[in-house]
Amino acid sequence: MTELVLLRHREIPKINQLDVYKKNGGFEAFEKVVTSMKPDEVTEIVKTSGLRGRGGAGFPTGVKWSFMDNNNWPHYVVANADESEPGTFKDREIMESNPFQFLEGVAIASYAVGATEAYVYCRGEFWELTHVLDEKIAELEEAGLLGDNLFGTEYSLRIYTHLGAGAYICGEETALLESMEGKRGQPRLRPPFPPSYGLYGKPTVVNNVETLTNVPLIITKGGEWYKSLGTEDTAGVKVFSLSGRVKKPGNYELPFGTSFRELIFEHGGGIIDDRPVRAIMAAGASSALIVAEDKALDTPMDYASVRELKADLGSASIIVIDDTVSIDWVLKKTIHFFEHESCGKCTPCREGNYWMNHIIERIHGGDATHDDVELLDSVAKQIENKCLCALGEFSIQAVMTGIERFPQDFEIAVKN
């Protein structure tokens, strides 16, 4: 087995303590970039590595950093720790168990874009974790690894946590920035994108926790090393959050390109009571429903291959569904989620999800006719491509593919 890149706490006990982290090479990468590299050189290494955003969108990280507007200062880095997608629980484990590697990633990103202040936006539910992060940051300041004139240079950096208060939409980067500014978390019209107009109107890089946690080892071992992991389409490793009807749910760090079958049956121990697997959602509740036939199970999990299944890998939050539940029930759950979490800014998302919720209640409750299934599909299609942010799109993926790929479940629901 190769060495872990992200979940290193599983191989190195107590890596959440600064002395242990440092003994294992911790903060050498940060010292190296601050004392011997130009910011652009750091960005180049990250570009070479092929690292793409792990929050779901998969945008190349180094490219994002290079978009920062150098005619407008100060610059900010914001780590997106608003992990709220149903089925996603990787960032929490990383921050809880390998916090210094994450914070070193924040620090390196900050140096690369010339930020002297960085924030970690934690969802409010991560209350205890945020307080632990505050302690870790204080330790770093004490140790001279954060603060003024780092390593005897002119570079200074401070990291602060910012606690949210329960809103899925704040995982969307512009909504997150609005929330940080003390407003309701509602997405902004883009462009301009955060690297030109971000926090307080200043150039800002917003990166997911897992994305940033990759960075220290990329600096230490090189971009080519990281690129050699994973597949040609999708470089590197990923923490796959596996949940649902499997025997061993949990986080599994694996190279991109690992098959659904390997994840579910080897790592996840197979399906509870050895029942048949019916459907897979690869990107949490925002996913298209994949029919779990052999071809799908043998598909390598990278962005391009999963797209061939007319689905997205997103944040790689694999929810496994067996034959103990019906797909109309699954939709009831996902629609209820998005109806609750719609920020209310765009009418198609706000009203569409409200009505989809009514219709799916009818269908699942046995009070519907066949027309209601068509109506549900038609409301979903009216949301499509009509919203400011991705939440609107997310809310209809399972609806449209559920009706299309599992029609028998809806026939039964309507008949009953």
Partner 1 sequence: MNKIAEKYSGDIEKIIAKYPPEQKRSAVMSLLYIAQREDGYVTKHDINEIAEILEMTPTEVVALVGFYTLYHDKQDGKYRIQVCNDLPCALRGADEFLENLCENLGIQVGDTTEDGLVSVEGVMCLAACDKAPMFQVQTGDGLKYHEEMTVENTMELIESWKKEEKK
Output Rg (C-alpha) for the chain, integer angstroms.
22
Residue 124 binds partner 1, judged by CB under 8 A: yes
Residue 181 binds partner 1, judged by CB under 8 A: yes
Residue 167 binds partner 1, judged by CB under 8 A: yes
Among 16, 61, 88, 110, interactor with partner 1 by CB under 8 A: 88
b/e map 33-59, b = 16+ CB within 10 Å: bbeebebeebbbbbbbbbbbbbbbebe
Among 138, 143, 165, 304, interactor with partner 1 by CB under 8 A: 165
Residue 125 binds partner 1, judged by CB under 8 A: yes
Among 144, 166, 366, 407, interactor with partner 1 by CB under 8 A: 166
Provide φ and ψ at 285, rounded to 5°.
-65, -15
Q: Measured from the CB of residue 61, what is the shortest distance to partner 1 in angstroms?
A: 22
What is the rounded distance in angstroms from the CA atom of residue 269 to the CA atom of residue 271? 7
222-241 footprint of partner 1 as x/- string (CB under 8 A): -------------------x
Residue 86 binds partner 1, judged by CB under 8 A: yes
What is the rounded distance in angstroms from the CA atom of residue 295 to the CA atom of residue 306? 11
Residue 147 binds partner 1, judged by CB under 8 A: no
Nearer to partner 1 among residue 29 and residue 167 (C-beta)? 167
Residue 255 binds partner 1, judged by CB under 8 A: no
Nearer to partner 1 among residue 107 and residue 319 (C-beta)? 319
Nearer to partner 1 among residue 234 and residue 339 (C-beta)? 339
What is the rounded distance in angstroms from the CA atom of residue 229 to the CA atom of residue 225? 7
Using a 10 angstrom Cβ sphere, with 0-12 exposed, 13-18 middle and 19 or more buried, the burial of residue 262 is middle
Residue 87 binds partner 1, judged by CB under 8 A: yes
Q: Measured from the CB of residue 120, what is the shortest distance to partner 1 in angstroms?
A: 11
Provide φ and ψ at 322, rounded to 5°.
-105, -160
SS3 of 70-111: the string is CCCCCCEEEEEECCCCCCCCHHHHHHHHCHHHHHHHHHHHHH
Residue 73 binds partner 1, judged by CB under 8 A: no
For helices 209-221 and 99-113, the axis angle rounded to 10 degrees is 80
**Matching residue, tokens 């759950």:** 333
Strands (E) in 179-334, as ranges, are 204-208, 237-244, 250-255, 277-281, 289-291, 317-322
Q: Measured from the CB of residue 172, what is the shortest distance to partner 1 in angstroms?
A: 14
Residue 325 binds partner 1, judged by CB under 8 A: yes
Q: Which residues bind partner 1 (CB under 8 A)?
A: 83-89, 91-92, 119, 123-128, 160, 162-168, 179-185, 200, 241-245, 249-251, 285, 317, 319-321, 325, 330, 333-334, 337, 340-341, 343
